[in-house]
Amino acid sequence: MLTCKQFLRELSGYLEKTLDPAELAELQKHVNECPNCFVVCDTTEKTLKVFKGMEAKAIPKDIHSRLMAAIERKLRDKGGCG
Amino acid sequence: MSTVPATPTFDESALVTRAQAGDAAAFSELVEHYDRRVFRMAKQITQNDDDAEDVLQETFLKAYTHLSDFQGNSKFYTWLVRIAVNEALMKLRKRRSDRTVPLDEPIDTGEDEMVREIAVWDENPEETYSRDELAKILDQAIESLKPAYRTVFILRDIEELSIEETAEALNLSISAVKSRLLRARLQLREKLTRQFKRKGDDAFAYL
C-alpha cells in the first residue's frame, strides 16, 4: 500500500495519466481508499482547470497603441522582415 | 445580446509564412492575436506593469527581427513564449538582484510538500465569482508563489507548453521542472482551497 507522501509525489503523473498502467492502477487504488488524497487530487484537478479556463483580458488601450507604434517604427526602419 | 463579429479563421502558420515573406499586415495580425497573452504572462512573471509593457514590446520586436529563424518546429506561440519568458526573467533578475532570491537558488525544502487545507470545494468557482473577482483571486495566488515555481507553472499550466518545452525555455532539467511544477500546483491548490472550500466545512474547525 502506498503512503500518502508517495502518492503525492506522483500526483502530476497521475492527473496527466503519463505513468504506466501498473503504476496508475496502484495510485488509483490509493485514491479509492484514502479520503484525504481523494480530496487533494480532486481539488488539484479543479485548480488546474480554473487556471486553464481563464482567458487573458484585452490589454489596456494605451499599452496597445504604444506597442503598435513601436512595431510600426521597426517596420519602417527595416522595410521588411528577416 | 449582439452577436460576436464574424472573424476570419485564424491561420497561424499561413500568417507566419506571409510575415516571413515581408507582409507587415500579417505580422500585425499575429501581434493583435497574441498580445494579451504575452502581456498577461509578462505581468504574472514580473509582477509589475511597466516591466510587463517593456517585455511585451521587446518580445514582439525581437520576434520580428528574428522571424526568419523561426523554423516551424514548434507552434509560433511557443516560440513567442520563449522569447517573452527570457525578457521577463531578465527584468525580474534586474529588479530582484539586490534583495530577494535568485531564480536558481536551491529551493528544495521538505516543508513545501506538506499538504494543508484538505476540504472539498463549492461546486464551481466560475459560478460563484464574477470573471474579474476570479481573475483577481487567481492572480493573487500566482503572485504568492516563489518566482522559481511561478514561472514553471505559468509556462506549463497556463501557456500549456510541454514539460520538455518548459525545461528548454527555462534552461532547467526535466526533473527540476517536474518537481517545481508539483510544488506550484500543490501550493496553488492550498491557496484556492482556502478561498473556494465549501462554507459549511469551516464548522469542523471548532471541533
Residue B117 above 90 pLDDT? no
How far B120 CA lies from chain A's nearest CA (Å)?
6
**For chain A, how many structural domains are there in total?**
1
Residues above pLDDT 70, as percent of chain B: 84
Residue A40 above 60 pLDDT? yes
The tens digit of pLDDT for each residue in B155-167 reads 999 999 999 999 9
Range with top average pLDDT, A24-28, A77-81, B129-133: A24-28
State how far the Cα of A38 lies from the Cα of B173, in Å rounded to an integer. 30
Could you please state the CATH topology (level 3) that the domain comprising B103-207 is classified under.
Arc Repressor Mutant, subunit A (1.10.10)
What integer pLDDT is reported at residue A81 of this predicted model?
47
Domain containing A56 — which CATH number?
1.10.10
What integer pLDDT is reported at residue B200 of this predicted model?
66
Of A32-41, B12-21, B110-119, B129-138, give the lowest mean pLDDT range. Answer: B110-119
Of A65-79, B3-17, B168-182, give the lowest mean pLDDT range. Answer: B3-17
Give, in order, the Cα–Cα distances in Å from B165 to each of A18, A74, B66.
16, 29, 19
B11-100: CATH, from 3.40.640.10, 1.10.1740.10, 2.40.160.60, 3.30.930.10: 1.10.1740.10
A24–B contact, CB cutoff 8 A: no
In total, the C-beta contacts within 8 angstroms joining chain A to chain B are 118
Q: Which domain holds residue A62?
A: 4-78
- Across the interface, which of A48, A56, A78 has its CB nearest the CB of B157? A48
Please judge whether A5 and B113 are an interchain contact, meaning their C-beta atoms are less than 8 angstroms apart. Answer: yes
What integer pLDDT is reported at residue B205 of this predicted model?
45
Domains of chain B, by residue range, sit at: 11-100, 103-207
pLDDT band at B108 (very low <50, low <70, confident <90, very high): low
Residue B154 above 60 pLDDT? yes
Q: For an interface test with A, which of B16, B39, B77, B120 has the most A Cβ atoms less than 10 Å from its Cβ?
A: B39
